[in-house]
Amino acid sequence: MPVVEAKGLIREFRAPFRRTTVLAVRGLDLEVGRGRVFGLLGPNGSGKTTTILMLLGLLKPTAGQATVLGCPAGHRSARRRTGFLPEETRLYEFLTGMETLLFGGRLYGIPGRERRARAEELIRRTGMWDARDRRLSTYSKGMARRIGLALALMARPELLVLDEPTSGLDPVGNREVRDLLREVAAEGTTVLLTSHILSDVAEVCDEIAILHRGRKVLAGEVKDLLSDARRLAWETEAVDAERRRKVEAWLRDEGILLHGVAPPRTTLEDLFLDTLAKDEGGGAS
Ligand SMILES: Nc1ncnc2c1ncn2[C@@H]1O[C@H](COP(=O)(O)OP(=O)(O)OP(=O)(O)O)[C@@H](O)[C@H]1O
Ligand SMILES: [Mg+2]
């Protein structure tokens, strides 16, 4: 049975004091299997947050049905087993990171000793150990995001719903969050996330759906969507012009169309991460 299943979800918003309505979600079907990382993508205003809020039972669909963890969306049992990171993290500014997780753990009813162990584990896994005793009011946007994510994981949810989890994170944080989500999924948790940062999504998601004006316009397995069966890329060591001509002549003789030959490009993200890693290694503070 899928962890999340939606059929024909529709949500209309009525603008206050006006006759006009906005159709934020227009007949959406979704299915997310257990242990999968599923990405809901789409431009601003395409209905991602509205969809998520309906699945959590925080917003009532105008029409259609959704089940989450085998219960109707918003059912107590489904809510208890779901962790949620909202689009805007609103936490208590006067608590420290550690206190925030302990407080959340108490609300979830996690017993004392286990609560502290779980909080410490998550503080470490989100890279927040050094800042754990600082108040949230002193945190940067990315740090608050990481604590929000740790909080969503406190109760070991079966389903983790994240609205723009990487917003405000630097590339190091991005990589850490992506790795954490893959680990969480490997432990059997299902992850449903939204994002604008497509390179992140490609690395972390098994499956995606692209929304446009409230409709699903493309969906599928990331690896299928991104591989182009009409082309093939070889990668070799660098060779001199003479040998290159020989290889190209052979391809021509065989009637194989050569689209291009070039040194592979690294990504700016890899360059950035390598540079930081070297600087750490060099003993700089
Ligand atoms: N409470 C509301 N009242 C009226 N209209 C709303 C409300 N919430 C959302 N909408 C409208 O519904 C549409 C979808 O909004 P939604 O927040 O779901 O988009 P989104 O895909 O999450 O966008 P973003 O990428 O900016 O977060 C937008 O046109 C938005 O203006
Ligand atoms: Mg949104």
Q: Which residue has the higher pLDDT, 229 or 252?
A: 252
Under DSSP, is residue 40 helix (H, G, I), strand (E, B) or coil?
Answer: strand
pLDDT at 99 over 90: yes
CATH code for residues 4-226: 3.40.50.300
Q: Which of 11, 41, 50 to mutate to test the pocket of ligand 1 (most atoms within 8 A of CB)?
A: 50
Question: What is the structure's pLDDT at 284?
Answer: 46
Residue 238 has pLDDT above 50, yes or no: yes
Q: Judge whether residue 106 has pLDDT over 60.
A: yes
- The whole-number pLDDT of residue 27 equals 96
For residue 28, pLDDT beyond 70: yes
Q: How remote is the CA of residue 46 from the centroid of ligand 1, in Å?
A: 7
Q: What percent of the chain has pLDDT over 90?
A: 71
Find the mean pLDDT for residues 244-261.
94
pLDDT digits (tens, 9 = 90+) for 37-92: 999 999 999 999 999 999 999 999 999 999 999 999 999 999 999 999 998 878 88
Compute, in degrees rounded to 10, the torsion defined by CA atoms 158, 164, 168, 173: 40
For the stretch 117-160, pLDDT in tens is 999 999 999 999 999 999 999 998 889 999 999 999 999 999 99
Spatial CB neighbours of 125, under 8 Å, sequence gap ≥ 6: 150, 180, 183
Q: Where are the domains of the chain?
A: 4-226, 241-281
Q: State in Å: Cα 213 to ligand 1 middle.
A: 10
42 lines ligand 1 (CB under 6 A): yes
Q: How far is CA 53 from the centre of its chain?
A: 16
pLDDT at 69: 97
pLDDT score at 166? 87
Ligand 1 and 86: CB distance under 6 A:
no
Distance from the alpha carbon of residue 91 to the mean position of ligand 2, in angstroms: 19
Region 268-280 average pLDDT: 86
pLDDT score recorded for residue 38: 97
